[in-house]
Amino acid sequence: KVELRPLVEEKLEALEALNPTPRPLEAPDLLTACWVLKYTTADSILGTSRLRPFRPRPRILQSIDAKNLRAKNEEWLLLGALRNSVVADLEPRDDGQTIDVQFRRFGIGWLRIRAPKSARGFLNTTFLDHDLRISRGDRGNIFILQR
């Protein structure tokens, strides 16, 4: 809910200050996992502008392979009958927290579409432990994921 965002942001900043892994990109064994999205401020990922049957349910997953620098996001629509996905290449920056993301392929059900070169962004991982990952995107969005 939009009205809870300031409170979530405040609590999130306090948690980020306790980050046990200040350079998460140097901890590939912790980063590599299938993560379940628990909270985000990214309306495009939540599908808030889509009709209800086309909003992702019941979960959104992000699989990260830190050793091979690949990521895959998956969502299910129409009560799980249709799976959408995106595959991306990852390029770590020198700060140990930020990774550039170049999307390579979008999948809409059975259809696969090559992503344009302009489909790119970055993520700054601000908290990482064995069970929880918090990232902030290039558009100011927050992502909280659980292993």
pLDDT of residue 1: 66
Residue 134 buriedness (CB in 10 A; 0-12 / 13-18 / 19+): buried
Residues 109 and 83: beta-carbon distance below 8 Å: yes
pLDDT of residue 20: 97
The tokens of 103 are what? 């999307």
* pLDDT by position in tens, the chain (length 147): 678 888 989 999 999 999 999 999 999 999 999 999 999 988 778 777 787 777 787 789 999 999 999 999 999 988 778 899 999 999 999 999 999 999 999 999 999 999 999 999 999 999 999 999 999 999 999 999 999
pLDDT of residue 77: 87
CA 28 – CA 32 distance, rounded (Å): 6
CA-to-CA separations, 131 to 29, 62, 96, 137, 138, in angstroms, rounded: 12, 14, 19, 20, 24
